[in-house]
Each structure stands twice: as structure tokens, then as C-alpha cells.
Amino acid sequence: MAKRRTFTPEFKAEVVLEVLSGATSQAEVCRRHNLNENQLSQ
């Protein structure tokens, strides 16, 4: 069984700020960080 990834609060804040800045789309940020869009929206 695969081990679940854990994300630091700093990483989470960085990803959210990327989306909120409007420079790139949510989909692009998810692709760059290998995340599912549902993970980001939660």
C-alpha cells in the first residue's frame, strides 16, 4: 500500500497564494505540484 503524502502548512499556503494571485489557473498549479483539483479546493 502506498504511503500518504503529507503537506506542510508552508507548502499549502504557497499553493493557495499562487492561485489567489491570479497569475496562473488552479488547474495549472495542480499540474505543476502533482495535485488533484479536489485536494486544492478542500
- Averaged pLDDT, 10-20: 92
Domain boundaries, the chain: 9-41
d(CA 29, CA 39): 12
Q: What is the pTM of this model?
A: 0.75
Question: 18-40: per-residue pLDDT in tens?
Answer: 999 988 889 999 999 999 999 88
The three state secondary structure string of the chain is CCCCCCCCHHHHHHHHHHHHHCCCCHHHHHHHHCCCHHHHHC
Using pLDDT thresholds of 50, 70 and 90, give the confidence band for residue 12: very high
CA angle 36, 38, 6 (to 5 degrees): 65
Answer yes or no: is pLDDT of 5 > 90: no
Cα radius of gyration rounded to whole Å, the chain: 11
Answer yes or no: is pLDDT of 41 > 90: no
Q: What is the pLDDT of residue 1?
A: 78
